[in-house]
Amino acid sequence: MAKEYNIGIDIGGTNIKIALVDTKGKIAFSESASTRAEMGYEFTIKNIINLIKDSLTKSEVSIEQIGGIGVGCPGQIDSENGIVRALPNIPGWVNVPLAKILMDEFGLPTKIDNDVRVATLGEYKFGAGKGYQNIICITVGTGIGSGIIINGQLVRGTNMAAGELGHVIVQEHNGEICGCGNTGCVEAVASGPAIVKQAELYLMTGKSTKFKELAAGSPITPEIVAEAAILGDGVALRIFERTGYWIGIALSSVVNLLNPEVIIIGGGVAQAGDILFDPIRETINKRALKISADSVKVISAQLGNSAGVVGASLLTQV
């Protein structure tokens, strides 16, 4: 029987998403379940197995029609050996041979990789990166991550740790403390939590700000600050200008180093659109070498929340 579909799975801290994706990148069926990280990895894996069986039953697709299974995981992955080394936000996952477990269960080729790299693959084949061969795909959310495709190939690095854009140092002296233990990383000054921190600081100092009104007593989120900026609030705009500036500084080095055709930006904070993208573009234009800056486009990701499952479905196909 022809292999019409591949299974793509996206493991997140809150939800596991699964999709049957056809060879043109179209999602034929999708479903999700709660990760229940607190129950341990065995429970999550059992859930994944049940989700796969369930999806096949509900979609009336037989296992013979499936080419392979791909899984994107939020952490350090040994993609060559199919082992989850560690997931910083999902405790208990240490050296778990996830690919082998799924392969033994279903008898299908199975590959796993880091979630940002998987999303990059999705954007490259079926999203904003279609038609390009040299791509940097970055996600700006709780952290800042990136996937790199050079000459049509994913770059993983010696220890499969390449693409840690969030820990590119942008402040040499007196930098903010980063979750990695270093100081001055771009993630410490330009991620979702950094935006919230700045907003709260403005509130504490009594600056009149729109986001206080928009939050209406709830905690401030990056989305609220973005909404305020779009409504023209000066303080919120300044926060996004600064955020875009720092990301632009980090990307200027990336542009000089790798000379990409496009930089694709996705993730929760990127929903803010041009209020974030414009200062990023401006900074790259000012600070990167002219030859590389002139040719690089900074564009928005296209696949949104589906990038993870669509990209994962491609893992056994590349």
The residue with tokens 């069986």 is 53
Nearer to Zn ion, 87 or 112 (CB): 87
Rounded Cα distance, 167 and 184, in Å = 8
180 secondary structure, DSSP code: T
| Residue 81 in contact with Zn ion, rule: CB under 5 A | no
- Which of 168, 178, 214, 270 is in the footprint of Zn ion by CB under 5 A? 178
- Which of 27, 155, 180, 230 is in the footprint of Zn ion by CB under 5 A? 180
Give the contacts of 227 (CB within 8 A, at least 6 positions apart).
Answer: 211, 214
| Residue 182 in contact with Zn ion, rule: CB under 5 A | yes
Nearer to Zn ion, 184 or 248 (CB): 184
Q: What are the C-alpha distances in Å from 55 to residues 6, 59, 127, 307, 311? A: 12, 6, 24, 19, 18
Nearer to Zn ion, 167 or 281 (CB): 167
- The first and second tokens of residue 132, run together, are 């390009």
C-beta of 182: minimal distance to Zn ion in Å? Answer: 5
- Which of 16, 20, 66, 185 is in the footprint of Zn ion by CB under 5 A? 185
First to last CA, the chain: 21
Nearer to Zn ion, 61 or 180 (CB): 180
- Which of 125, 156, 167, 281 is in the footprint of Zn ion by CB under 5 A? 167
Going 271 to 272 to 274 to 278, the CA torsion angle's sign is: negative
Closest CA to 225 of 247, 192, 188, 248: 192
C-beta of 193: minimal distance to Zn ion in Å? Answer: 13
Residues contacting Zn ion: total by CB under 5 A: 5
Interacting residues with Zn ion (CB under 5 A): 167, 178, 180, 182, 185
